[in-house]
Amino acid sequence: MKFTWQRVLILVCMAAAIVLLSHTYAEAQCAMCRASLTSVTNSRFIRNFNIGVLVLLIPPVSIFCTMFIVLRKYRASE
Q: pLDDT per residue over 23-52, tens digit each?
A: 555 565 677 777 777 778 888 888 888 888
DSSP 8-state symbol, 20: H
pLDDT of residue 62: 92
pLDDT of residue 23: 58
Tally the domains of the chain.
1
Helix (H, G, I), strand (E, B) or coil at 31: helix
Rounded distance between C-alpha atoms, residue 18 and residue 51, angstroms: 16
- Categorize the per-residue pLDDT at 64 as very low, low, confident or very high, splitting at 50, 70 and 90: very high
Rounded distance between C-alpha atoms, residue 36 and residue 46, angstroms: 10
- Its pTM stands at 0.46
CA distances for 64 relative to 57, 61, 72, angstroms: 11, 5, 12
pLDDT of residue 3: 60
Query: Is the distance from CB of 28 to CB of 53 less than 8 angstroms?
Result: yes
35: containing domain = 5-77
DSSP 8-state symbol, 1: -
